[in-house]
Amino acid sequence: MTPSPVSFEDCLDDAIATLGGPATEAPPRVPASAERRRSFRPEDFSSLATVTLMEDDGMLRWVYEPPPRRGLRRRALRRAVPSIDGTPIRTIPIQDLPGNQFLDAIAALDDRLTPRQGMRIWRDGMLQPEPQPEIKGKRVLLFIHGTFSKSDMFFTELASTAEGKQYLADAAKAYDAILAFDHPTLSVSPWINALDLSAALTKVKGRIDVVCHSRGGLVAAWWLRLAKRDVGRVLFVGAPLAGTSLASPAALRQALDHLATAAKGMALAGSLASAVMPLMTVVTGLAQALGKVLQLGADLPIADAAVVAVPGLASQSRVSNNAELLRLFAGPWPSSPECHAVIGNFKPLEVDAGWRFWRRITRVGDQLKYGAVGLLFEGPNDLVVDTGAMFGPLEGDRAGQGMEQLARLVFDAKCITSFENSPTVHHTNYFRQPETVQAMRALL
- Tens-place pLDDT, residues 338-376: 889 999 998 887 666 566 666 555 554 444 343 333 457
Residues with Cβ within 8 Å of 124's Cβ and at least 6 positions away in sequence, in order, are: none
Give pLDDT tens digits for 142-161.
999 998 889 999 999 999 99
The C-alpha atoms of residue 397 and residue 413 are separated, in whole angstroms, by 27
Position 5 scores a pLDDT of: 61
Query: Across residues 381-388, what is the average pLDDT?
Result: 89
- Burial (CB count <10 Å: 0-12, 13-18, 19+), residue 265: buried
pLDDT grade for 233, boundaries at 50, 70 and 90: very high
**Is the predicted pLDDT of residue 1 greater than 80, yes or no?**
no
- How many Cα neighbours within 13 Å face the side chain of 429? 25
Question: Mean pLDDT, the chain, as a whole number?
Answer: 80
**Is the predicted pLDDT of residue 27 greater than 70, yes or no?**
no
As beta bridge partners, residue 208 has 140, 231
Given 2.40.10.220, 3.40.50.300, 3.20.10.10, 3.40.50.1820, which CATH number is that of 114-244+316-441?
3.40.50.1820
The C-alpha atoms of residue 88 and residue 90 are separated, in whole angstroms, by 6
Give pLDDT tens digits for 161-182.
999 999 999 999 999 999 999 9
Position 400 scores a pLDDT of: 47
181 close to 218: Cβ distance less than 8 angstroms: no
Position 80 scores a pLDDT of: 43
Pairing of β 231-237 and β 338-346: parallel
Position 398 scores a pLDDT of: 43
339 close to 234: Cβ distance less than 8 angstroms: yes
Angle at 73 between CA 67 and CA 78, to 5 degrees: 70
Position 121 scores a pLDDT of: 98
pLDDT grade for 33, boundaries at 50, 70 and 90: low
Residues with Cβ within 8 Å of 166's Cβ and at least 6 positions away in sequence, in order, are: none
- The pTM score is 0.86
Give all strands of the β-sheet with 59-65 in edge-to-edge order.
Answer: 59-65, 49-56, 87-94
Position 71 scores a pLDDT of: 44
For residue 321, give the nearest of 238, 403, 395 by alpha carbon.
Answer: 395
For residue 165, give the nearest of 444, 432, 439 by alpha carbon.
Answer: 432
pLDDT grade for 301, boundaries at 50, 70 and 90: low
Residues with Cβ within 8 Å of 211's Cβ and at least 6 positions away in sequence, in order, are: 141, 142, 143, 144, 154, 234, 235, 237, 440, 443
Position 12 scores a pLDDT of: 92
Residues with Cβ within 8 Å of 7's Cβ and at least 6 positions away in sequence, in order, are: 267
- Of residues 6 and 141, more confidence is placed in 141
Angle at 294 between CA 357 and CA 315, to 5 degrees: 85
The C-alpha atoms of residue 229 and residue 237 are separated, in whole angstroms, by 20
pLDDT grade for 4, boundaries at 50, 70 and 90: low
The C-alpha atoms of residue 359 and residue 355 are separated, in whole angstroms, by 9
**Is the predicted pLDDT of residue 403 greater than 70, yes or no?**
no
Domain layout of the chain by residue ranges: 8-106+246-313, 114-244+316-441
Position 85 scores a pLDDT of: 66
CA distances (Å), origin 98, targets 16, 57, 162, 253, 289: 22, 34, 50, 19, 10
Neighbours of 3 (CB within 10 A): 9
For residue 402, give the nearest of 322, 315, 337 by alpha carbon.
Answer: 322
360 close to 366: Cβ distance less than 8 angstroms: yes
Chain CA centroid to CA 4, Å: 24
**Is the predicted pLDDT of residue 184 greater than 90, yes or no?**
yes
